[in-house]
Structure 1
Amino acid sequence: MKISQHVRAIASFVEAADAGNFTAAAKKLSISPAAVSKNIASLEQALDVRLMNRTTRKVNLTEEGEAFLSHARSALDTLENAVDSLVATKQEISGHVRISTSAAIGKECLLPVLPELLNRYPHLSVDVDFDDRVTDLVRDGYDIAIRGGHIVDSSLITRPVSHLSTLLVASPHYLAQNGAPESPDALCEHRLIARRFLGGKVNVWRFLNQDGSIINFEPTPAVLTLSAPEASLQAALSGVGIAQVAMHNAIEYLERGELHIVLASHYDPGSFELVIQYPHRALIAPRVRVTIDYLLEAFKQDKNLHYPLSQLSQYQYPA
């Protein structure tokens, strides 16, 4: 197959996999269903492997098709990036960009870097929704999502920003009055600040056993239960008790001595991610592309998002 035929065939395969049938894929690509079928058949012949099982109404990916799909998306994305980069240099960036993010990430990470984006592209406007629920980007009309936590696989394009860790912290005032717990078991003698998810479940704290296994600890009974992670940070700063907080949110307060880390040798900081996600599209609008590129670079320069765990020992209590 020639390169141009490869591109048509891969595009047909990706659209058919997304749509679940040839008819919808053909409509999106402005070709006939027969052409979609022919393109995919030629791709399978070139690869010498079946990518899809067809029925009269839908298609299902084979195991090999599932594996190939992620590579196919990346290939198309690379081509689209090259085209969009060229287009972006030839026209003035303008238009509206809708972003979905959580209140904590929006306040601490996104808002500080938006002024420079708007200065750089004065004809660009940005609409940000602060919502801790996971939104459906395509259904709800968002261009970009900035999400933190355990990121599940999806059909969205995911661009990693940084790893995220959590800490257990308390204020100097609280620790002076109550001392610091020396083991997870001692937490029952302390005032705890818990976080409750929107679904009602209380977030557990994780500790490491000597054998490397994980102990889940539910911070109950809690003296204060909050749904917003940034509120937990403020409660800890106010001396209410011990709270689990995101490391990137706590760094400045640790550096100023307004918070101390407790149970550092026992606590599992977790393995979370901060990512930028956006829908896979045949062509990403230049207004969206420049916003994504800018945010990736701006977040790369945020030292709090990339703070080394090895340097946290200086903020432990007792020192």
Structure 2
Amino acid sequence: METLANLESFVRSAETGSFSSAARRLALTPAAVSRNVAQLERNLGVRLFQRSTRGLTLSEAGERFLQSVQGGLDSIQGAIADVTVNAGQPAGMLKLNSAPGFGMDYLLPLMPAFLARYPAVTPDWSFDNRPLDLIAGGFDVAFGGGFDLPPGMVARELARMHCITVASPAFLQGQPRPTDPAGLADLASIVMRSPLSGRLRIHTMRNSAGVEMVIGHKPALLVNGPDAICPAALLGLGVGLVSVPHALPHLQSGTLVRLLPDWYCDVGPISLYFASQKLLPAKTRAFVDFVTQTFREQQLAHRLSVQSLASGKTA
């Protein structure tokens, strides 16, 4: 009868494509995972992986075996996790990832209340705009949008992120005011480029009538992350597409002016990413539940949306 450790090492290695990534997920050493898989192969009398310098590839027998055991392993681990969650207190290192702006403005302020409730948990934050592999990086929870979901990971939408076009009063002096997003091509703009491809990000705006239109650009400054756009707009370097929560205090103080007040851009969901709920350790389940409850109670989804802008104050 095969041990749970051998089967788990095989399944997680197959999911992640390497012993090292599986080891981070299982809190083992790569050598231990490799030994477990090798023992499983000896006991079964078949080779489950083709090994190379590029990583692991399932053999034909490995593919069949994975399909047979993966669901059963998840069920067993789910039962173990359920007992652990209900019996133990959340504790340990909790590895978290978020984009810098969103994380520091909206997630760090939640930490005092979370740590007061769960003092045995130690959050380990990584603030990064780059795409990442959640499993290979060993993250318990990540926040953002557009992540590829590997097997065993789920996403829970927290809010929609809305952006609006803004510029400083000094920049707008003597400049024509556009009447639609295409007209922004007549004004110098601060444009984000993809950190991976280097291409300019092209966005579509919509108005209250549901009309959609691509934003016109005349790039005066390129940046590789969204957090630089609002400061650049404040410096009078051009028109920027800025998230509502970042723009709101500057609109209220008058240091930024909203252009096209009937138009906004929905840049997609902000989601919370974590492992399959049946397999969550107590610390991760506590954090996921705490964040989703806090977003609901504090109406943070509304604060991130264009509906939070007071009518007539930002035009």
TM over 0.5: yes
Counterpart of 2:135, as a letter, is V
The code of the aligned residue for 1:205 comes to H
Structure 2 CA distance, aligned partners of 1:211 and 1:117? Answer: 41
Q: Given that residues 100 and 129 in structure 2 are in contact (C-alpha distance below 8 angstroms), is that contact kept between their aligned partners in structure 1?
A: yes
Counterpart amino acid of 1:119? A
What 5-or-longer segments of structure 1 have no aligned partner? 1-11, 33-54, 63-68
Partner of 1:202: 200
Cα deviation, residue 295, structure 1: 1.7
**1:58 equivalent among 63, 69, 78:** 63
Q: Partner of 1:299 in structure 2?
A: 295
Change in CA separation of 1:121 and 1:140 when aligned onto 2, cut-off 3 Å: same
Q: Give ranges in structure 2 of 5+ residues lacking alignment.
A: 1-7, 17-21, 23-35, 42-59
Structure 2 match to 1:163:
160
Q: How many aligned positions are there?
A: 272
Task: Tell me how far apart the structure 2 counterparts of residues 224 and 230 of structure 1 sit (CA, whole Å).
Answer: 14
The CA distance in 2 between the partners of 1:299 and 1:112, in whole Å, is 12
Residue 126 of structure 1, aligned match among 123, 127, 137: 123
SS at 1:58's partner residue? helix
- Write the letter of the residue equivalent to 2:273: Q
Q: Give the conservation status (yes or no) of the 8 Å contact 1:249–1:304.
A: no
Residue of structure 1 equivalent to 2:214: 216
The yes-or-no answer on 1:273 pairing with 2:233 is no
Q: Which residue of 1 aligns with 2:282?
A: 286
Query: Is 1:108 paired with 2:105?
Result: yes
Q: Is the 8 A contact 1:164 1:272 kept in 2?
A: yes
* Percent of aligned positions that are identical: 22
Q: Would the aligned equivalents of 1:101 and 1:146 in 2 still touch at CA under 8 Å?
A: yes
| Alpha-carbon contact 2:81-2:278 (below 8 Å) kept | no
Q: Distance in 2 between matches of 1:279 and 1:210?
A: 37
C-alpha contact (below 8 Å) 1:255/1:315 kept by paired residues? no
* Distance in 2 (alpha carbons) for counterparts of 1:256 and 1:271: 25
Structure 1 runs (4+) deviating above 6 angstroms are 74-81, 209-213
Change (3 A) 1:210 1:244: closer
- Which residue is 1:182 aligned to? 179
Q: Could you tell me the TM-score, scaled by structure 1's length?
A: 0.67
Counterparts of 1:76 and 1:295 in 2: how far apart (Å)?
27
Find the residue that maps to 1:306 and give its secondary structure: helix
Whole-Å separation in 1 of the counterparts to 2:77 and 2:313: 44
SS at match of 1:204: coil
Aligned partners of 2:181 and 2:216 also within 8 Å? no
Aligned-residue CA RMSD (Å): 4.4
Measure how far apart 1:242 and its partner are. 0.9
1:106–1:77 CA distance, 2 compared to 1 (3 A): farther
Q: How does 1:145-164 map to 2 (within 5 A)?
A: 145-148=142-145, 150=146, 152-155=148-151, 156-164=153-161
Of 234, 239, 244 in structure 2, the residue corresponding to residue 237 of structure 1 is 234
Q: Which amino acid aligns with 2:269?
A: E
User: What's the CA shift for 1:252?
Assistant: 2.8
Q: CA deviation at 1:310?
A: 4.1
Compute the displacement of 1:209 (Å). Answer: 9.8
Q: 1:219: Cα distance to partner?
A: 2.3
Equivalent position SS for 1:139: coil
